[in-house]
Amino acid sequence: MKQQDVAILLVVVFVAGVLTFFVSSKFITPSNSKLTAETVTPITTEFILPDAKNFNDQSINPTVRIEIAPNANPQPFVNETN
C-alpha cells in the first residue's frame, strides 16, 4: 500500500468513528441516570439464641456417622472374582 492509501484509510476510519459516536449517542440515551441500591442492615454484636425447641440436648445430631452394619472389607468395590 502506498502512503496515500494509508492516509485515506485513516481518515475514513476516523470519520466513521466520529459519525458512529454521534449517531449512537442519539439512539442510546439513558432514560434515568439515577441508580438505586438495596439498603443493608448493619452488623451488630447482638447474638440471638436459637429456639430451644429445635436445639436442645435431646435433638438428633446430623453430624454423627451412622454405621448400618460392620464392614471389615477395606476395598468394598474391588471385583472379588479373581
- Identify whether 35 is part of a domain: no
Say what the pLDDT of residue 32 is. Answer: 67
- Identify whether 44 is part of a domain: no
- Identify whether 41 is part of a domain: no
- Identify whether 46 is part of a domain: no
Q: Name the domain count of the chain.
A: 1
Instruction: Tell me which residue range forms the domain holding 1.
Output: 1-27
- Identify whether 53 is part of a domain: no
- Identify whether 70 is part of a domain: no
pLDDT digits (tens, 9 = 90+) for 6-37: 899 999 999 999 999 988 877 777 666 777 88
- Identify whether 20 is part of a domain: yes
- Identify whether 17 is part of a domain: yes
3-21 CB burial, b ≥16 within 10 A, e <16: eeeeeeeeeeeeeeeeeee
Residues above pLDDT 90, as percent of the chain: 22
Whether the model clears a pTM of 0.85, i.e. scores above it, the answer is: no
